[in-house]
Structure 1
Amino acid sequence: MQTLGYAAQSPDSPLAPFHFERRDLRPNDVAMEILYCGVCHSDLHTARNDWGGTVYPAVPGHEIVGRVTGVGPEVTRFKEGDLAAVGCLVDSCRTCDQCEKGEEQYCRTGLTGTYNARDRVDGSNTYGGYSKHIVVREEFVLTLPAGLDPAKAAPLLCAGITTYSPLRTWGVKAGSRVGVVGLGGLGHMAVKLAVAMGADVTVMSRSADKEADARELGAQHFLNTSDKAAMKAAGSSFDLIIDTVPVQHDLMPYVPLLDVDATLCLVGQLGPAPDLNTAPLVLSRKRIAGSLIGGIPETQEMLNFCAEKGVLPEVEMIRMDQINDAFDRMEKSDVRYRFVIDMSSL
C-alpha cells in the first residue's frame, strides 16, 4: 500500500513529506487509516538521534488512533470501520515468560517498537504514526472504547500507559499518597489518573507558578521543591512518587519524602543519574525503581479505565506541517500538555 508520511532524513534535517510502502496484509494483520497521532518526546529524540541507533529515514509516532480499513483472514477482533488504537509496541516474541503474562514491553528478545525497529518477519524498518496508514498485527491493536474522544485519546497510548502502569504496579487506590514530579505530558497524565483512582495527589515542582495548573488538573496539594522548610515538613509522607522529569537530575531530594516501603519510580529520564546515597534506602526500606510503558492487556485496561472515569489528556491540535515548530516548542516546554496531529491535514 502506497502511503504518505513525514520523516526525518538525518539528525539535523527537519521532518518533511515522505512517500513509502506499507506492507500487504498478513493473515493476522489489521490495516488502519490514521486519524490522530500524538507527539511524544521520544519522537523528537529519535528524529535527532539523541539516543543513537536511529535508522533513516525515520517516521516517528506511537500514539495512534485510527479507523480500520482492512483485516487479514485470521483476524477476529476487528472489522472494517472500527475505531482502533496502536501504542508503542507492534510486536514481540509472544512466547517468553514476559510475553505470556502480558508484559510484552519486557519481552526477553526485545520489543518491536512502532517506529525505528526491525520487523520480526521481513526485517524492514518500522515506520510510525506520522503517516496516513499503518498495518499492525492484530494482537497489538487496541480497541478504542466508546466514550473516549478519538481526537484527544491518542496521548493515552504512551503518556497515559507510562504513568498508569506504575500506579497499578504499586497498588495505588483510594487514600494512597502519590507525588508527581514534573507537570508536562507525562506528569499531567499521572495527576489525572491518580486522582481518578482516588489517591491524595501532590504535584512537586521548583516553579511556584505551576501550582494553579496542578490544582486545575485535580491535584489536592502542591509542594515547592525549592522551599527547604516545606520539603522537610513533607518527610515520610508519600507511598509512591512518580518522577516524570526527562533530563538528568538529582534524585536525592525526593528520597526523604518517601515513607517506609515507599517507591520513587522513574518514567522520564533514561541514562546515568547523579550519585545516590543508599543509606536512606537501606535504613527505611525505600526503593528507587523504573517503569517502561505497559503491556497490551494493561494498555487496554487503561483505555477502559479512562473511558469509565472520563480521563483524557489536555491537548493542542496541530497540522502535520506544523510538526517542526511543535518539536521546537516541546523542547521549551511550551505546550499544555500534549500535541496531537490531525492527520486529515496530511
Structure 2
Amino acid sequence: MTQNKTQTLLTPIKVGSLTLPNRLVMAPLTRARAGITHVPNAMMAEYYSQRASAGLIMTECSMVAADASAFIGEGGIFNDDTVAGWKQVTDAVHAKGGRIIMQIWHPGRAAHSGINNVQPISSAAVAIPDETHTLKGKLPYEVPRVLAESEMPGIVELFRKAAERAKAAGFDGVQIHGAHGYLVDQFLRDSHNNRTDGYGGTLEKRARLLLEVTDAAISVFGAGGVSIRISPIVPFNHMSDSNPKALVEYVAKEMSKRNIAFFELRHDQWDRPEELELAKIAREHFKGVLMLNGGFDQASGEAAVAEGRADAIVYGKLFIANPDLVERFASGAALNPLDMKTLYGGNAHGYTDYPVLEAAAA
C-alpha cells in the first residue's frame, strides 16, 4: 500500500483492527524486570504506560511456556499469574489511551538448562557458539534436543494458548517473533535447519512453523490482531540464510494472503544496500501495512514513510530513553541519552526514571 508524499510519522494509520494516531511504533525490547517468576509487575505497568503516546507498543518477547526462558527476568504468558500480571500493564496503557500488543516467543536453542532445568529444543542439534547468562553463572550454550515432527503440533499449540492468554490479559493483538535466531527463526533460516522432514529442506517447509503459528494466532485474534517479525540477514545468535531475498518474498506473499495486521522487517541496519533491497521486496509482495526497524532516526524514518518505503517505523533504543518520543519528534526537542548499563534487569533506574519534556524543562 504505497503512501503518497503527505504521509509523515505523525499522521494516523489503520493497522489491522486498530487505528494508530501516529506511525512511531515501540519495538519489542527485552528489559528483564519481571524477575524469576516471569510475572509482570507494577513497575512494568508504569514503564509501558509512560510510552502510551506511541502509535503502538509491542511488549518484550514473552515466553509461551514456563520452561522457555532465555533472559531469566523476561515476562511470560504461560499461566494465570502471568495473565494477571500483564493485565496490570494493558489496563495502565489503555487508561492513557494507548494501544499495546504482545510479542509471543520461544527461544529454542537460545535457552539453557541452567535457567529452565530442561535441555533446550530446536530444529537441529547444533549449539550457538557462544556463552549465555544462567542461574549458575555464565555458561556455554548447550546442544539442543531436536524436535520430532510429531512434536510440532504441540509447539503450535503453545503459541495458540499464549495468544488466548494475551487476549485474556487485554492485549490488542500479538506479534509472532520469527526473528533473531529464536525457535521460529531456527526453522525459517537454512543456516540452522538441516531437516529432511515436513519442516525442513525447501523454503516452503522451513517456513511451515511460522505459518502454522501465525494461523493459530489468527484463530484467536483474527487476522487484524496478528503480526509477524522476521530478520533475514540479522546475524544475532549465529544465524544466516543462503537466499534472504527469496525468504522475504515467500513470507511476504503468504502473510499477504492471510491479511495480517502488519509485517515487521527487522534490519541489521536499514540503509545497508542488501537491507534496502529486502525492504523493496517486502514492499512489493506484502500488500498490507509494512513496518521497518533497524537504526532509523527521525529524519530517516520520515523519509521512509514519505517515500512509501514503509507505512510506520519501529523504534527501540529511542523509546527506552524517551518515554515521550512522539512529543519530542513533534516539537523538535532534544533526545535523552541512553544508559546502556541499565538495559537488562535491575530496578526503576534506567527503566521508569527517564525524564519527559515537562520534567526536563523544570
The TM-score, its normalising length taken from structure 1, stands at: 0.28
The TM-score, its normalising length taken from structure 2, stands at: 0.27
More helix by share: 2
More strand by share: 1
